[in-house]
Structure 1
Amino acid sequence: MPVATVQSLLQAPDARDPALDAADAELLLAHVLGRSRSWLYAHRDDQVEAVDAERFRALLARRAAGEPVAYLTGRRGFWSFDLRVTPDTLIPRPETELLVELALARIPPEATAPRLADLGTGSGAIALALAHERRRARVIAVDLSPGALEVARGNASELGLVNVEFRQGDWLAPLAGERFDLIASNPPYIAEGDPHLDDLRHEPAPALSSGRDGLDAIRTIVREAPAHLLPGGWLLLEHGWDQGEAVRDILDAAGFSEVRTDRDLEDRDRVSSGRWPG
């Protein structure tokens, strides 16, 4: 069997499968070799060990079958981090960085010991970004999944963040008797039966779908949040591009003030927020 090189592996038919995005093969080969994609460009003629070539081909086959690159490599970039992810966690998306930006805008750097909460933390992406940018804050990250919390704790340890605490439970239940300056969440918001769920079949279903219209989790959070917000505290919720008006109505009906929806980089409704009066 001919010796494989970086270039021959990337030019092989399985690496050019129409089911793969252009960058998928490069990302997977870089992962197998423990190198960067830029290294691949500079070392096209380098030989690749047979065992690594086989690992690469096996990953390509799994990717062509629909398994996300993030699960195949076990990593995903978010904010300024490279986070570990597993099938126990939702894969962090770039649009969720808007939620982080909006939360940080409401918690100034000079704030003294603000209390923040992230509901449905998954890999810890939101909580860890807030804890990193607001070192004086105490951040509580909640998730129902023990597997997700294990991943999130590991990410916090890798990043050396000690101002974040992880608790297991359903939405605000683990926060009994506590109040916060800000509560943020990227809850499930896809309607049950939505055809897009098939494209996301490898990700944890409870983190994706919530009720017939996708808003059950958001209704629960909005209903329970006032008991856990300090006067003037903020609630921020990520949601689908077509749910801004509905989420604003839910916040208005619950008594929140300064209700608004912010749009993502593609000019789509993405994060709705409200402030608890006082």
Structure 2
Amino acid sequence: MSARVNPWVLSTPALAVYATFLVVPMALVILISFFDFQFYGGMQATFTWKNYFEILSDGYYYEIYARTFGVAAAVTLACLVLGTAEAYVLSRMANPWKGLFLMVVLGPLLISVVVRTLGWALLFGSTGLINKALMGIGLISTPVDLMYSNLGVAIALTHVLVPFMVISVWASLQRINPSTEAAALSLGATQFTVIRRVVIPQVMPGILSGAIMVFAMAASSFATPAIIGGRRLKNVATAAYDEFLNTLNWPLGAALAVVLLLATVVVLLSANRIIERKYGAVFNQAGG
């Protein structure tokens, strides 16, 4: 067997799984998005752009997409700040504290996202712990409405997704030579300057990969927005869910999902291009 053919043969099982569970379902969703839907006739296997025209011409869907990407951007920023700081502190801990606190950070991943979100729902309620604590210390006189709000959804999603940012940044921090920080400090740089000018540029590949994961997962999340946001604050995932299972308009639901996918890819590629232009040398060094 030739050297050219051998890698493809060895990759056949992985490619088959990839095609079965990702490529084929995605192709079917794209195909269905071009079908027609009649209220009394159901889904019709006829090619039409009607579903995409409906999405692009209705301000209701613009509001849903704006809410989805606005919350995803806020969650990504919050996870970037919290996750990078947590990863930096973890990387500077000594054993056995490093392993212990790493498990504390990653422990929530072992619990269902629905269970964690329901926990936040109990905290956010008008009689929940957060409102009781704020009213008890006199900061507020009436309960703060965190349930069914974008702020509540963003807080819950940040808790759900911040471990992914920690993992990504922590992996990049393991590749930094500690002597570079010591050299900067010996030359008179402050600790803040060392972090800003030495550490962050070197871990930028990890920050970017973590931000991509967090943004994509926040934009496509369903359980947390459905529980915390409720019926009033729909995102794209909950809107597509309603079209699929409530109105049975599968073509429109598929079109919503396809537009979400395309918009997410455009945003991520644009952010990736901008960051790579600024930190191109760091990315080339990390790749080498």
Structure-1-length-normalised TM-score = 0.22
Larger RCO, structures 1/2 (Cα 8 Å, 6+ apart): 2
Over alpha carbons, which structure has the higher Rg?
2
Q: Which has the higher strand share?
A: 1
TM-score by length of 2: 0.22
